[in-house]
Chains A and B, each alone.
Chain A
C-alpha cells in the first residue's frame, strides 16, 4: 500500500539514532536549504498548511509568526513537546525511537525560521527507549558542522537540551510544560499572556508537538505542494494514527490526512476482533466526543471531524466493539483524568473526582437514577471553569458517552 508510511515513517527514515545512516537518507538536506534562505521556511510551512498535530489543529505558521515577530529577551525558546501520556496515544514515542534526527532537524528548522536560540526537548520520563534514542542522537549533534552552521546563520549560539518531563499528564499542557522547565511544579498558567509573548523565564516561547516538528524537514525538501498533495481532499499532509482497542492489528499507521475511519479500522487495522460489530470509537486521547458506526465514512482530519462535532485530537483511535462496555471504559478514563487533575482549579479537582466516583459507582452496580441526573448537571456546569482544557475534555467525554449510550448506564444501575 503506497499511502501507508509514505513520509515520517518511511522505511528510509527509520534508521534510529545513527547519524551517518540518517545522512544517507537525505538527512540534513533541509537544513542546508534553509541556511541559504531562512525566511522562506515560514512561508513554505504556511503554504503547506501544516497544523499542530499534538491535538489542537492550530495552523503552525501563526504560532511561528507570533514568536518570530517578538524580540529575544534575551533568549527565545522552542519546546519540543514529547510529554505524550494520554490513554491510546503512542505515536511520538515511535518517532523519537526510530527517527530522532528527523525530529531534531525539524526543531532546528523551526528555530532558524523564528530566530530561536534555545531548544528544549521535553519528553515523558516514562518512555525510557525514546529518551535513550534521543539522547544518543543529540550527542551526535553537539559540535557537529550542521549545528555550527545553523548557529552561524542565526548569528548566535544554538543550544539543544533534553529535559525529562514530570511524569504528570497535565505536564503536556503547554504552559505547564514551561513551568516544569523553569523548575516548578507543572501547574498550567492562565492565558493570556500567551507563550509567544511571555514564555519560559519571560522569553518568547514556541511550543510544538514532536510529530509537528518531524514534518518540517520533508516540507522544506519537497515543497509545500508536495506536502498538500499527501492529504486527501482539502486536508494536507499525512497523520500518524494510533489505533488501539478491539481491532485485529493495533499499532501506529501513517496515512494521508483525511483517510476515512472505515479504511483505518478495516483496511489497515484488519477489522474488529472476533468479527463483532463496531460500537464506538474514542478519538484523540479519550477526552473527546465519541464516534459511532454512523461516522465510519468520516475523513479523519481536523475539519471533517469538527463538522461531526468531534475532534481529531492526537489521532488516537480507541476502537470499541459490541463486546466492550462503554461505562467501564469511561470509568477507566475518568479515573485517569481525576488522578491527572493538577488540583489548582477547584471545579476541576472536585468535578473530575466526583464524576469519576459516580461513574465508578454505576460501573460496579451500586449506582442509582439520581447519579445520572448529577452527572448530567455536572457536564453542563464544568466546561470552561478551569485554567486549562482538562475539565472541558472530561465533560465532553462523559457527555457524549451519555448522549449515545445512556441505555448502558441505565442497565448498570442498581
Chain B
C-alpha cells in the first residue's frame, strides 16, 4: 500500500467550503470489485474438504470452524438435565425474537436460548432503517428488482419475492408491537433513499432503528407467557435422531458455570447471526461480540447445505480512529442525506450511493494507491464529509443522527465541524444456510432465520433489507416450526451427526484438534472453554 497523507496534513488541507467536482464516471464496476473487494482476495481462501459444501471456497477463518470437531461427546451428557419444548429458538436477536413470537402465536411452547442476553445482537447495531415498498410511487416489484440487481442476481428469486412481499405487513406488525418510526410533518412514515435502490424506501427511527426494533421485540418476548428465555446459554451442539439426519434439539452450555443442559424439541430454529468477529482477512468489524458464526458451524456439522460462503459485505463507512472504536459503523443514512466521500486530495472518487460493495472497493482502491489518510494511531481511511453536510443543512446531524454524534463525542470528534475518517468494515455475511420460504434448512427439523440463513442477498445486500429479513423470515420460520409434525415412537436423542462428521474428518485426513463453535472471539476469553470451567 502506498502511503498517503497524515491525519494532521489532511485536516489542514481540508476545506469545508470548497466545491469538489463530481466523481469520475464508473465505467466497469465489476473490474473495480475484482481488483479491490476483499471477497476477491486470493490469499486466505480455503477449499472445504468435508460436508455438504465439499469443494466450495470460503475464507480460511470460516473453513477452520466448519471443519472442526465438536466440543462434546455423548459421555458428557450423562446425568444432564433434560427439558422438553415444542420449538427451540437459538439466538436472542431480532430474528430469534420474531421467530419465538410467531411460534408462540401458533400455540407452541417456545424456549429461546441466547448466548449472552436477550438483545445482544447485530440487530441493535442496525442504524439506517428497514426497507418496505410503502410509498405511492414505489412497488414490491421495484423492491424485488433492486434486491436482485444489487445482489448481482445471485439471490434466490423465490426467497426475495417472499421477503419484499412481506415488507408492508412487517412494518404494520412492528408498529403494532409499539415501534416508533420517524414521520413526516403530515404524520406519514418518513422514507429515505439508500445506495443501489430506485425509490425512497427506507423507513427508520433516527439512526438507531435496530435498537428501537429490539426494544419492542424484547418487551414482547419477555411478556409472552408461552416463551421461556434462557440467557447466557450458548448452543454447544445440536442433537440428532438415530440416523443423524434429523435435528431433535440442542445441548446448551452456560457462560458463567459448568452446566450443560439438553433441550429436546420438535423443531429448532437457528437465529445465531453472522461471523464478523472472525475478522476475515484481518478486517475490523461492525458486529457485536457474539458474532462468531456458531449457527453456521452447528448447521454444517449436521449436514445442512450452506450457500455463498465466499461472499461478505464490507460496509464502506466504519470508523478508523480511535483504535478502540475501529470498525464501528457510521450509517449509510449519512451518505443518503448527502454527505460526500473525499480522498486525501480532497477529491470525490465514487458516487456515494452506489451499492455498498462498489463503494467499499473504491475506498480500498484510494487507500491502496496512496490517496488515503493515515492517523498516528494506525489504520487508514478516507473522509466522510459530515462537516459539509452540516454546513448545507444546519442542525440535520443533531436531529437525525444522534447516535453518530454521541459516538463521535466519545472519540473526541465533532462531525459537525470536521469530516470523519472512515474505512470499510466487515459488516454482514451475505450467504448462510440454504433455506426455503418457510425458513426450513436442508436438514429435517432445523430452521434458520436472519443473517445465519442465506440465499436472499446474493453477493451483496442493500441497506435496510437485513432488518426486513429478520422479521419476515423470523416469523416465517416460527410459524413453520410450530406447525411441524410430531414423530411417532420413542424419541431418541443422540450425537450421531457428530460421529458422522468425525468419520468424514478422519477420512479426509483433517485434524480433530480444533473445536467449534467458537462462541466468543479468541481475544475475549483466551484459553478458556466457556461452556465448562
Contacts and interface: CB of A to CB of B under 8 A. Distances in A.
Nearest to B495: A324
B490 A335 contact: yes
Contact of A411 (B79, B489, B490): B79
Interface in A72-87: 87
Interface stretch (B68-76, B89-97, B270-278): B68-76
A328 B503 contact: no
Contact of A324 (B73, B262, B490, B512): B73
Contact of B69 (A274, A366, A412, A413): A274
Interface in A59-76: none
Interface string B499-513: 100110011000010
A365 B69 CA distance: 26
A362 interface: yes
A364 interface: yes
A321 B183 CA distance: 64
B503 A273 contact: yes
A362 B506 contact: no
Main secondary structure on chain B at its contact with chain A?
mixed
Nearest to B505: A274
Interface in A318-363: 322-325, 327-329, 332, 335-336, 338-339, 362-363
A29 interface: no
Interface residues of A, number: 27
B417 interface: no
B31 interface: no
A332 B78 CA distance: 12
A6 interface: no
Given A273-B503, A274-B512, A325 B77 contact: yes
A174 interface: no
Interface in A86-115: 87
A363 B75 contact: no
A332 B494 contact: yes
Given A274-B69, A274-B506, A274-B512, A336 B79 contact: no
A272 to B, nearest CB: 10
A273 B80 contact: no
Given A335-B490, A335-B492, A339-B490, A364 B79 contact: yes
Contact of B490 (A248, A328, A336, A365): A336
A332 B75 CA distance: 14
B82 interface: yes
B43 interface: no
B485 interface: no
A364 B81 contact: yes
A246 interface: yes
A303 interface: no
A412 B79 contact: yes
A322 B73 CA distance: 9
A362 B494 CA distance: 17
A413 B74 CA distance: 17
Contact of B79 (A322, A323, A413): A413
Contacts of B490: 335-336, 338-339
A274 B490 CA distance: 29
A244 to B, nearest CB: 10
A34 B1 CA distance: 87
B79 A362 contact: yes
B486 to A, nearest CB: 15
Contacts of A323: 73-75
Contacts of A339: 489-490
A336 B489 CA distance: 9
Interface in B467-515: 489-492, 494, 499, 502-503, 506-507, 512
The size bracket of the interface on B is 20 to 34
A328 B82 CA distance: 12
A363 B512 contact: no
A169 to B, nearest CB: 11
Interface string A131-166: 000000000000000000000000000000000000
Given A336-B490, A411-B79, A412-B79, A328 B507 contact: no
B499 A365 contact: no
A411 B242 CA distance: 25
A295 interface: no
A322 B502 contact: no
B75 A325 contact: yes
A328 B78 contact: yes
A273 B492 contact: no
Contacts of A336: 490
A339 B487 CA distance: 14
A327 B79 contact: yes
A329 B74 CA distance: 9
B501 to A, nearest CB: 10
A408 interface: yes
Contacts of A364: 79-82, 262
Given A332-B494, A339-B489, A365-B81, A273 B75 contact: no
Interface in B240-288: 242, 262
Contact of A325 (B69, B74, B242, B262): B74
Nearest to B75: A325
Interface string A241-252: 000001010000
B503 A363 contact: no
A274 B499 CA distance: 9
B94 to A, nearest CB: 33
B69 A411 contact: no
Nearest to A337: B490
Contact of A365 (B73, B74, B79, B502): B79
Interface in A243-267: 246, 248
A412 B75 CA distance: 11
Nearest to B513: A274
Most buried by A among B74, B262, B507: B74
Contacts of B502: 273-274
Nearest to A360: B82
B69 to A, nearest CB: 7
Contacts of A367: 79
Nearest to B76: A325
Most buried by A among B69, B489, B503: B503
A362 B75 CA distance: 14
B362 to A, nearest CB: 48
A363 B79 contact: yes
A322 B74 CA distance: 9
Contacts of A87: 242
Contacts of A324: 73-75
A102 to B, nearest CB: 28
Interface in B119-170: none
A335 B489 CA distance: 9
A315 to B, nearest CB: 19
A412 B506 contact: no
Contacts of A325: 74-78
13 contacts: A273-B502, A324-B73, A324-B74, A325-B77, A325-B78, A335-B490, A335-B491, A339-B489, A364-B79, A364-B262, A408-B78, A412-B78, A413-B79
Given A325-B77, A335-B491, A335-B492, 15 more contacts: A274-B502, A274-B512, A322-B75, A325-B75, A327-B79, A328-B74, A332-B492, A332-B494, A335-B490, A336-B490, A364-B82, A408-B78, A411-B78, A412-B78, A412-B79
Interface of A: 87, 246, 248, 273-274, 322-325, 327-329, 332, 335-336, 338-339, 362-367, 408, 411-413
Interface of B: 69, 73-82, 242, 262, 489-492, 494, 499, 502-503, 506-507, 512
Those 8 A-B pairs whose CB atoms lie nearest each other, nearest first = A412-B79, A323-B73, A325-B78, A335-B490, A365-B79, A324-B74, A325-B75, A364-B82
